[in-house]
Amino acid sequence: MKQRSFRWLLLSLAIVGFVGDQASKYGVFRWLYNDGFGDAREVVPGWFRLLAQFDPTRPASTCPLVTWGGEIPPRVNYGALFGLGGEHQGLANGFFAVVSALAAVAILIWGLRATTARDGWLSAALGLILGGTLGNFYDRVVFQGVRDFLHFYYIDWPVFNIADCCLVVGAIMLLIQAFFMAEPEAQPRVAATPADAATSAAPAPTDVPK
């Protein structure tokens, strides 16, 4: 019997995550461009807002993928999550771009294996991680850094994006599987005793005609 494959789930979530991340970034930064000064829109007053920031000190670009939201490029995060390593700017962005590319390839290889494809939970987790990885990788290549616009400012949480959400949710799903969904260990097979072997080797009794 052919076993069910969840490759479609992995690839679907990766595509949805990537498209959702890029659509939200382009949409919010274009909407809140405000002549390059940027703007914010309250979503949950006092807690959460959409924040678009732009950087007039960055070199202007002629690439339509960059200028679609406005002539002044957006302010970007050169480092990893929470701005880790961002102080090195171009060097950090190049390093994390390479890491993202390698991670995407590794996730694809892992996710498309037959044993992985049979696990729906694992396929979903890897699909979310792949979508988030590709979303931020695109930003690093096109914008030379990652665009962030989601801001929980009540606790002064670092600004983040949809790709980051996909990465965090996917990572949490992997942890849940590792600690709470592990398959039970196979029971050791008991070796047959000499008596069992003799019994199994003895010929079956036959009926003697009367």
Task: Judge whether 148 lies within some domain.
Answer: yes
Task: Judge whether 189 lies within some domain.
Answer: no
Instruction: Check pLDDT > 70 for residue 193.
Output: no
Q: Which of 55, 119, 139, 164 is catalytic?
A: 164
State both tokens at 194.
Answer: 């000499």
Strands 48-52 and 76-77: unpaired
Q: pLDDT digit string (tens) for 1-35?
A: 567 899 999 999 999 999 999 999 999 999 999 99
Q: Which of 148, 156, 196, 207 is catalytic?
A: 148
Handedness of CA 70, 72, 74, 79 (dihedral sign): positive
Instruction: Check pLDDT > 70 for residue 154.
Output: yes
What is the DSSP track for 127-188?
Answer: HHHHHHHHHHHHHHHHTSSEE--EEETTTTPPPB-HHHHHHHHHHHHHHHHHHHSPPPPPPP
Number of domains in the chain: 1
Beta-ladder partners of 39 = 52
Is 207 an annotated catalytic residue?
A: no
Instruction: Check pLDDT > 50 for residue 153.
Output: yes
Residue 131 · residue 16 · CB < 8 Å: yes
The whole-angstrom separation of Cα 35 and Cα 58 is: 15
Task: Judge whether 2 lies within some domain.
Answer: no
State both tokens at 159.
Answer: 């600004």
In 3D, which of 155, 197, 166 has the Cα closest to residue 100? 166
State both tokens at 72.
Answer: 């002044």
Residue whose pair of structure tokens reads 């600690």 in the numeric block: 179
Beta-ladder partners of 42 = 49
Is 156 an annotated catalytic residue?
A: no
Task: Judge whether 207 lies within some domain.
Answer: no
The whole-angstrom separation of Cα 121 and Cα 127 is: 10
Look up the domain containing 34 and give its range: 7-184
- 17 burial via Cβ count (<10 Å: 0-12, 13-18, 19+): buried
- Quick one: average pLDDT of 163-191? 80
Q: pLDDT digit string (tens) for 38-49?
A: 999 999 999 999
Instruction: Check pLDDT > 80 for residue 187.
Output: no
